[in-house]
Amino acid sequence: MAEYELEQGGLRDRPSVTAKVYISATLRSFFDRRTEVEAKGHTVREILKDLQRQYPDGAKLMFDENGGLKGFIRIYAGEEDKTDVSLWDDDISGASGILLLPLVAGGAPQEALISDERRKAESLDDEEVERFNKHLLLREIGVKGQKRIKAARVVVAGAGALGSPVIQYLAAAGVGTIKVVDFDQVTLGNLQSQVIHGVRDVKRPKAASARDTIRNINRKLNVEVEQARLSADNIRSVIEGYDLVIDCTDNYQTRYLINDACVLSGIPFVFGAIYQYEGMVSVFHYRGGPCLRCLFPAPPAPGLVPTCAEGGTISPLSGIIGSIQANEALKLIMGIGEHLDGRLLRVDTLGLHNDLVRVEKNCGCPVCGDQPTITEVWDFDYEEFCGLKEDEQEEPVEGFTPEELAHRIEANEPIRLIDVREPHERAILRFPGATAIPIGQLARRKGELDPEQDTIFICKEGKRSILAIRTLREAGYKGPMYNLKGGIDAMKDIIFSNEGGWL
Amino acid sequence: MNDVLEEGLCRELMRAAEAAYPLECCGVLFGGADGRADGFCEAENRAPAGSAGRHFTIDPLWLYRQEQSAGKAGRQIVGFYHSHPDCAAYPSDEDAEGMIPEQLYLILSVREGRCVECRVYRKMSLEPGQVPERFL
C-alpha cells in the first residue's frame, strides 16, 4: 500500500513536498507524542497515506476497519475543513498549516427498556427485513430499534376491548414474546369493540382467540397464553421475567392488583382505561416514576362509577386508546420519543378534546412511596371495600331470584319496584312497572317509598341495588326491602320475552 | 478525593450543567502533568440547530486554540465533559464511538434542572468495539 502510494505520487510528476501537520494534544500519544509531524504530499489523501505509513497507531486511531476515516477525525488546512473526502485531492501545499484535530461530540443515550446487550443478541433475517421495512426506514427505529422490539417480552392483561388493538399492534410490530392473560370467553356483545375476535370465536376463550389472531399475523412470534383470572396468588408469577405489562383490564380490583405487583416486581406498565366516549393512558412505575396509587390512592366511591360493562363505550374508542397504549409500549421498548410517565393523557372523542395532566409521585404512596405499607400483593377486595359484598357483621339483604320475582308479579302481589339505574341505562332496557329513582337520589327521596309495602330494588347486575338498600337503611328507612338477585341482566330473558322492552 | 478529579471540580461542573439545562453543556477538562483534572472551560455547544437538548459538538478549531493557550501555561487537556438532560450519566453509543482513548470523559446527568449524577469514563485502547471503562 505504501509503495503504491509513493509510486502514485511519483507518477503525478510533481516535486515532492513535505507538509508539517499539527497533531492535537489529545491525539499525540498515537503519534509518538509529537506536536508536529512531517508528511509527504500535496493533498489530504497523500498526507493521510504518508501518516498511515509512518504511524501505525495513528492509522488505527484515524481509520476504521474498512479503511474509512473515523467520524471524529477532522483535518484542517489553515482554517478550512478538508475532512470531506470530496476535498481530499485539492492541492493544499500552500496552506499555512495543516491541523489534525478531534471532533468531540456525542449525545444523551436513549433510555430503552431493552438493553443494548439484549438488542445485540438479536438478528433480523431477510424476511424480517422485508416485513419490518417501514420501521427500518424510520431514523429513530432502524435496525437497532427493531431488534429491541424483537427482544421484548410483554404481558397483555386482558384480551378485551383495549387488549384487541394492543395485542394486534404488538404482534404486527414484531414484539418477540407476547403473553395474553384472560379468563373470559367471547360473547356476541364483545364483538362491538373487541376486534381481535370474530363471530366464530363466540363462546371460545378470549386468550385462545387472541393467540390465533397473533399467529395469523406472524407465526414466528412467541405467544404465551394464560387462561386465568389474575389474583394475588398468581400475578407475580404471571409477570415475573417480563419487560413490560400492559393493563387492558376493565375493573378496579385487577388494576390495583397489577399496579401493586408491577411496583413490587419492578416492572413498568402502560395503563389504559375507557368509559363511554373518553379514555386515559399513562405509564406507571417507569424508572422511579409515579404509580397508579400515586394518582388514585383508592378506587372511586362505591356505586358512583359504573364499570365499562355497565356504562357502555363507543366502538372505536378502545381502538384509539389501545393503539396509544401499544405505541407507548413500543417507544418504551426502544427508548425513543417522549413517554407518558408522570403524565396522564385524556382523550374525549365526543367533544374532541385532549389534554395531558401531570401526575406527581406521592412520597406517601402506600406501595411506591418512601415508607411503603404494601410490601406484598394481596387481593384488594374491591367489593368489600365498596360495601357491595355482604358483610357478616352487617344485617344481610334479602333478595328474590328472577323466577321468584316473576311469580310475584304474575300473582299480582302488592309489591313496589324501584329501578336505581341511571337514565341512560334505563333508556336501553326499561323494567316494566318500575319507579325510577337513581341511586344517588334515594336517601333524599325516601319519602316517596311506602314502608308498609314490600319494595324490590333493581339495577343492572344486582350489586348497586344492595348498596341502595344499605343506603336507605342508614338513612333510617324501616320498610321491607328486597334485592333482585343478578339484576335486570338476569331477569330479562323471563320478563322481556314478549314485552318488547328493547329499544 | 480521587486521582482523576480535583475536589470541587465536579460541583462546579454540576452547576454549569444545571445552568445549561434543558440543553446539553460541553467543554474541556484541564489538568497538570499527572493527568488529574483540576479545571475546565465551557465550550459553545455547536450541535445542529434544535438538537442541543440531546447532542453536543465542540468546534475543533476552538479546541485547537484551547490547546495552544493551555500549552503556553504549562497545562494540558486531559478530557472532556458534557451533560445528559433528563437521562442517565452513561455514554451513549454515539459517545462511545467518538471517544479518544486515554482521555477522560465526564458525563453529568441533569434531571428536571437538578444535576443528580456525575460519572467519569475512559476508553483504554484503540481496539474496535472497546467498551469505555467507568472510573468514577
From A202, A208, A200, A180, select the one nearest A189 (Cα to Cα).
A202
Question: In the prediction, which pLDDT does A390 show?
Answer: 47
Give me the residues paired with residue A345 across strands.
A281, A356
The arithmetic mean of pLDDT across residues B109-115, rounded, is 87
From A281, A241, A282, select the one nearest A261 (Cα to Cα).
A241
- Measured between alpha carbons, how far is A433 from A126 in angstroms, rounded to an integer? 68
Q: Which value, to the nearest 10 degrees, does the dihedral of the CA atoms of residues A8, A10, A12, A18 take?
A: 100
Q: To the nearest whole angstrom, how far is the Cα of A141 from the nearest Cα of chain B? A: 14
HSE (CB half, 13 Å, CA atoms) of B46? 12
What is B9-134's CATH number, 2.60.120.560, 3.30.420.10, 1.20.1050.40, 3.40.140.10? Answer: 3.40.140.10
> Does the CB of B60 have a partner CB in chain A at under 8 Å?
yes
Q: Are A459 and A440 in contact (CB under 8 A)?
A: no
B-chain residue closest to A24, CA distance = B64
Residue of higher predicted confidence among B136 and A241? A241
Q: What percent of chain B has pLDDT over 70?
A: 94
Domains of chain A by start residue, with CATH: 2-102 (3.10.20.30), 116-385 (3.40.50.720), 399-495 (3.40.250.10)
B51-94 residue pLDDT tens: 888 889 999 999 999 999 998 888 999 999 999 988 878 788 77
Maximum CA pair distance of chain A? 122
Please answer yes or no on whether B58 and A104 come within 8 Å at the CB atom.
yes
B-chain residue closest to A72, CA distance = B98
Radius of gyration for the alpha carbons in chain A, expressed in angstroms and rounded: 34
Residues 114-133 of B with CB under 8 A from A: 126, 128
Residues 315-374 of A with CB under 8 A from B: none
Angle between helices A317-334 and A142-151 (to 10 degrees): 110
Q: Which of A248, A291, A308, A365 is catalytic?
A: A308
A-chain residue closest to B106, CA distance = A106
Question: In the prediction, which pLDDT does A154 show?
Answer: 98
From A205, A204, A201, select the one nearest A229 (Cα to Cα).
A205
- Measured between alpha carbons, how far is A88 from A85 in angstroms, rounded to an integer? 5
Angle between helices A163-173 and A206-217 (to 10 degrees): 30
Give me the residues paired with residue B121 across strands.
B105, B134
> Does the CB of A115 have a partner CB in chain B at under 8 Å?
no
> Does the CB of B77 have a partner CB in chain A at under 8 Å?
yes
Q: Which value, to the nearest 10 degrees, does the dihedral of the CA atoms of residues B36, B37, B38, B40 take?
A: 160
Give the 3-state secondary structure of residue A484: strand
Q: To the nearest whole angstrom, how far is the Cα of A105 from the nearest Cα of chain B? A: 4
From A367, A155, A29, select the one nearest B122 (Cα to Cα).
A29
Give the 3-state secondary structure of residue A337: coil
The arithmetic mean of pLDDT across residues B24-43, rounded, is 90
User: What DSSP state is assigned to residue B133?
Assistant: E
Instruction: Give the amino acid at B70.
Output: A
- Angle B44-A85-A2 from CA coordinates, rounded to 5°: 120
Here the ipTM equals 0.92
φ, ψ of residue A180 in degrees (nearest 5): -110, 125
- Measured between alpha carbons, how far is A53 from A227 in angstroms, rounded to an integer? 68
**In A163-267, which residue ranges form alpha helices assigned H by DSSP?**
163-173, 206-217, 235-239, 252-265
φ, ψ of residue A115 in degrees (nearest 5): -70, 165
Question: In the prediction, which pLDDT does A219 show?
Answer: 96
For testing the chain B interface, which of A35, A104, A361 should be mutated: the one with the most B CBs within 10 Å? A104
When the pLDDT of each residue in chain B is averaged and rounded to a whole number, the result is 86
User: How far apart, in Å, are the Cα atoms of B41 and each of A285, B102, B121?
Assistant: 39, 19, 19
Radius of gyration for the alpha carbons in chain B, expressed in angstroms and rounded: 14
Which residues make Cβ contacts (< 8 Å) with residue A338, sequence separation at least 6? A331
- Measured between alpha carbons, how far is A322 from A328 in angstroms, rounded to an integer? 10
φ, ψ of residue A110 in degrees (nearest 5): -85, 130
Instruction: Give the amino acid at B132.
Output: P
Question: What is the number of CB-based contacts under 8 A between chain A and chain B?
Answer: 106
Q: Is the peptide bond before A205 cis (omega within 30 degrees of 0)?
A: no
Question: In the prediction, which pLDDT does A412 show?
Answer: 87
> Does the CB of A97 have a partner CB in chain B at under 8 Å?
no
Angle between helices A163-173 and A317-334 (to 10 degrees): 40
The 10 Å Cβ neighbour count of residue A14 is: 13
Question: In the prediction, which pLDDT does A14 show?
Answer: 65
The DSSP bridge pattern shows strands A222-226 and A177-181 to be parallel
Q: Are A423 and A437 in contact (CB under 8 A)?
A: no
- Measured between alpha carbons, how far is A428 from A227 in angstroms, rounded to an integer? 32
For testing the chain A interface, which of B81, B92, B107, B127 should be mutated: the one with the most A CBs within 10 Å? B92
Q: What percent of chain B has pLDDT over 90?
A: 41
Q: Are A129 and A135 in contact (CB under 8 A)?
A: no
| Look-up of cell digits 442541543 | B52
**pLDDT tens, position by position, for chain A (503 residues)?**
333 343 444 445 566 788 899 999 999 989 999 999 999 999 999 999 999 999 999 998 999 888 889 889 999 998 899 999 899 999 888 887 899 999 999 888 767 899 888 998 999 999 999 999 999 999 889 999 999 999 999 999 999 999 999 999 999 999 999 999 999 999 999 999 999 999 999 999 999 999 999 999 999 999 999 999 999 999 999 999 999 999 999 888 899 999 999 999 999 999 999 989 999 999 999 977 899 999 988 776 555 555 555 668 999 999 999 999 999 999 999 988 778 988 899 999 999 999 988 888 888 899 988 888 888 887 666 555 544 554 455 678 889 999 899 888 888 888 999 999 988 888 888 888 899 998 888 888 888 999 999 999 999 888 889 888 988 888 889 899 999 998 988 887 776 544 444 33
